[in-house]
Amino acid sequence: NAGVMQNPRHLVRRRGQEARLRCSPMKGHSHVYWYRQLPEEGLKFMVYLQKENIIDESGMPKERFSAEFPKEGPSILRIQQVVRGDSAAYFCASSRTGHPQYFGPGTRLTVL
Amino acid sequence: QQQVKQSPQSLIVQKGGISIINCAYENTAFDYFPWYQQFPGKGPALLIAIRPDVSEKKEGRFTISFNKSAKQFSLHIMDSQPGDSATYFCAAEGGANNLFFGTGTRLTVIP
């Protein structure tokens, strides 16, 4: 039973480019969460999705960030026009009913 | 505003000793409190979790103690081993399904 999968594991972008991060939840899980972790800090909630619906996006920056979880395929976190401050580790978690949440290995985004 | 406060920031323990990490929260709506273990370059892994209707939960060498009236909970690692060296995060959730994490404790167990 594969765990939560994220790709790419490492992503390098120049300022102004777009970053697309993908997350495939565990089998049977329909709840997906995205968190951001800055160096030496804890994880900060960004967005909670169920299939085709955004349930809670209270942690998402108002501009440049968007997320989706289509009926088919992985969840996508999209960051447009990246800036250096977007450099962080982005983790996806999934759950069957809300908790527990199981985390993927993360995508480490570096903005040059 | 930090919803969950965690201490200490770092901890060094001798092999075989007890590691204790403390967390405190303010929001009484929180009703689920997990602990996660994270190794460098990896995602957080669920270690153990508790609900506020019990005061203690034990799984192997790991124990959560929960004090509802004080709004505090702690992780105890008995017989700490070098392989336990990692960063530990407490978290809390209260119906909204998103976890609020503490700032982490970097544990080093020296042989």
Q: Dump pLDDT digits (tens) for B69-108.
A: 999 999 999 999 999 999 999 999 987 778 999 999 999 9
What confidence tier does A98 reach under pLDDT thresholds 50, 70, 90? confident
Does the beta-carbon distance from B49 to A100 stay under 8 Å? yes
- A100 touching B (Cβ < 8 Å): yes
Cα of A72 to nearest chain B Cα, Å: 23
Residue-level pLDDT at A40:
75
Q: Which of A53, A103, A107, A108 to mutate to test the interface with B (most CBs of B within 10 A)?
A: A103
Q: Dump pLDDT digits (tens) for B47-67.
A: 999 998 999 999 999 999 999
* pLDDT of residue A1 exceeding 60: no
- Residue with token string 């909670």: A48
Residue-level pLDDT at B95:
74
